[in-house]
Structure 1
């Protein structure tokens, strides 16, 4: 897209940012429905935004659209920041931490510009700013080794805790506790990626306790679901299902569609870990029904930084099929899960590729299985992801022939001597 094109410039100068989005979307070959799914809104909401003219915009949704379409922030009225002097991260660990902290600040800048002015206590603005920094770190996770992110995230958590301890007002402490809960959950996610299950459980437990102190039922349910997801992937089906039930009790019957859709997928993974394909299928059907309602409830409520779509439900079915040894589930869900398989979150994509590899293995297609596994391992080594490497090792252990073919030996050679 030529961002200096006359039509783009004229629309931007006039404040017709919806027109800018329309031109960028059309040039990228993206439909309104696809953009809506990426932004967590309906197709009609995208249409309304594009025809909004020069009226006041919902800057949060505008920022999402701009990010997905790679529109320079200044063209849609958002702050434009550049990360000068930060093109390489080859120095010391301190330099890496400084770079990542700076990168998070750059990532949050457009969203900060969209925040309303606060006329009450300064703690309101502090919590919002810290929350956006957490969101920025979460977005960086897809393309940054967890070992590089851990220290900046823990420093961010310590800062949040320090500010909360010095705050006099109870309502501000509750808001800051919510921010601390999400930062602790992110620390758990990073530990999980590094293969440190003990630390992951500790951080997820802290996230749940802090969310309860914040008196935020949706956040508490989210953190219970996050720990349930971890336990389901670890093979602890009973614990995963208990945590999903606790999350649902926390929310009651009026839970948002995005929460129910996500919890249904976590429940499905736990049933798959227990080897119960029927219960997993029922949970996935519930996820599909709830996913259809998400676009009606726009925008997705915090703490959902990322959108949840029918494509993610399909990706969950694929993962369940891999765990259950059902190649028909794996291959049947591949097309619908295409958006996740082609996402920019490299580590998550590699894990899903390993699930596809498991489907090939269950179908007796060794060449396809181990070729995909070797490709996923390359990503795991690039990001030093213990979770990816261990999943690949688990797939290798499932093949027990004394005379493995070359494609299996290639994976063995790649895994040999790997210490993360």
Structure 2
């Protein structure tokens, strides 16, 4: 959220740091890793300078927050969720930065709604989807209500785009909970709302999101058909980040179809596009981080595991280290399961199930049906009659899980 407002206010990280008495690297760390591992006092200082309501960054709206000497461990996640729920229940939202004040009321509302959506997306990395689902759906209802009351077409277009983004997030949460039917419904709603907004780039993203979902669900043909539609839309407005993301999505769909040659070709295209992405250029979608080489490597690792090609995994493992150490624990657990699958193909059973156990613990902690089902699929791929101790321990843990 800090990054969104800073970019919108046309401030560099160095300028923001100087204004707040911080270094450029400190601002960079704050934007990259969030408040989960950051000093709350500094977060409050930055938010105050940017005129972001403290509740939008998970802090209580109290002066004491700005001076209290805390390290972040005492700020509970439920406080952030409670604050976010209050935001989405409010009839009128305050614009989060001075830069938004030049817009009309509807423009300010759309901007504030979008900031709240981004906050929920940040929370997804460290919060069970079941806890996020209710406030996100309330947020969606609020966006729809405001859109229905908008008094001009331009405002309705902006708010339709916001509704599309929230519906997409609802689809992601349903997917994480293992509710595939609801996930498809929400992704479909996101696509319809994006088309209503007139934003072809947003519509392309939502189609691509559904395509990724279908690929992970094993529906390669449907995924590739959707991605072809996405490519036709992006060709009208080529952006390096979007092109890299699309090629990586095609890589996964080809891997699910069992086509290693086409998957490798798409990976090369993704890597080439990622090299053209400037770190200073904002991503085409505010909730999407810069698509870099580490993400391409992580996709090679994932596809290598699906294709049973451990050499792909070995080649990508070091470069994908950034994704393995990211703050999004659920995503990290899924990559661990990909790595475990590669170990399994190579016959390294102990390493495979050691990694899988760590991933499973994350799935249980966040009640992620997606992680648990991927763990079950990994176990089904082990067919040896001789079960090592690490496999027996994994079975005992897996059989006792009921989400």
| Equivalent residue in structure 2 for 1:203, among 186, 206, 217 | 186
Aligned with 2:50 (options 59, 78, 101): 78
Kindly tell me: are residues 70 and 327 of structure 1, through their superposed partners in 2, closer, same or farther at Cα, counting changes over 3 Å?
same
- Cα 1:115–1:363 change in 2 (3 A) is farther
Aligned pairs for 1:291-370 within 5 A: 291-295=274-278, 298-370=281-353
The answer for the alignment partner of 2:85 in structure 1 is: 101
**Kept after mapping to 1: 8 A contact 2:51/2:98:** no
TM-score w.r.t. length of structure 1:
0.80
Structure 1 residues 285 and 112: alpha-carbon distance in aligned structure 2, compared to 1, 3 A threshold: farther
- Structure 1 distance, partners of 2:365, 2:208, is 29
- SS in structure 1 opposite 2:284? coil
The answer for the alignment partner of 2:271 in structure 1 is: 288
Tell me how far apart the structure 2 counterparts of residues 181 and 136 of structure 1 sit (CA, whole Å): 16
Unaligned ranges ≥5, structure 1: 1-11, 26-34, 39-62
Q: Which residue matches 1:389?
A: 372
> In 2, Cα distance between the equivalents of 1:242 and 1:223?
14
Quote the offset at 1:99 in angstroms.
Answer: 5.2
Alpha-carbon contact 1:315-1:337 (below 8 Å) kept: yes
**1:270 alignment counterpart:** 253
Cα 1:153–1:237 change in 2 (3 A) is same
Does 2:92 match 1:125?
no
- Number of aligned residues: 366
1:352-400 Cα shifts (integer Å, max 9, x gaps): 0000000100101001001110110000000000000000100100111
Matching of residues 19-418 of structure 1 within 5 Å: 20-22=22-24, 24=26, 64=31, 67=34, 70=38, 72-73=42-43, 75-76=45-46, 77-79=49-51, 81=54, 82-83=59-60, 87-88=75-76, 98=82, 100-101=84-85, 113-295=96-278, 298-418=281-401
Q: 1:88 offset after TM fit, Å?
A: 4.9
Q: Which residue of the partner structure matches residue 4 of structure 2?
A: none
- Looking at structure 1, the residues matched to 150 and 87 of structure 2 have their Cα atoms a distance apart, in angstroms, of 27
Which of 139-148 and 293-302 deviates more?
293-302
Q: CA RMSD in A?
A: 2.9
State the 1:168 CA deviation.
1.6
Q: Identify the range of structure 1 (251-260 vs 70-79) with the bigger mean alpha-carbon deviation.
A: 70-79
CA contact (8 A) 2:295 2:323 kept: yes
Aligned-partner Cα distance in 2 for 1:225–1:244:
6
Contact 2:88 2:138 in 1 (8 A): no
- Whether the 8 Å CA contact 1:222–1:303 is kept in 2: the answer is no
Q: For CA contacts below 8 A with separation 6 or more, give which structure has more relative contact order.
A: 1
SS across alignment from 1:275? coil
- Return closer, same or farther for 1:20/1:88 CA change in 2, 3 Å cut-off: closer
Paired with 2:219 and 2:251, the residues of 1 have a C-alpha distance of 13
| Deviation of 1:115 (Å) | 4.6
Residue 16 of structure 1 is matched in structure 2 by: 18
Distance 2:31 2:271 in 1: 24
Q: Is contact 1:350-1:379 (8 Å) kept?
A: yes
Taking a change above 3 Å as real, the CA distance of residues 254 and 150 of structure 1, as seen in their structure-2 partners, is: same
**For 1:204-251, what per-residue CA distance to the aligned partner results, in whole angstroms no more than 9, with x for missing partners?**
011001100000011000000100110111111111111111111122
Higher mean C-alpha displacement, 114-123 vs 407-416: 114-123
Question: Is the partner of 1:295 in helix, strand or coil?
Answer: coil
- Is residue 164–residue 190 contact of structure 2 (8 Å, CA) maintained in 1? yes
Q: Is the 8 A contact 1:150 1:190 kept in 2?
A: yes
Contact 1:272–1:320 (Cα < 8 Å) also in 2: yes
Cα offset for 1:87?
Answer: 4.4
The alpha-carbon deviation at position 299 of structure 1 amounts to: 1.7
CA contact 2:242–2:284 (8 Å) conserved in 1: no
Greater CA deviation, 395-404 or 237-246? Answer: 395-404
Give the SS at the match of 1:305: coil
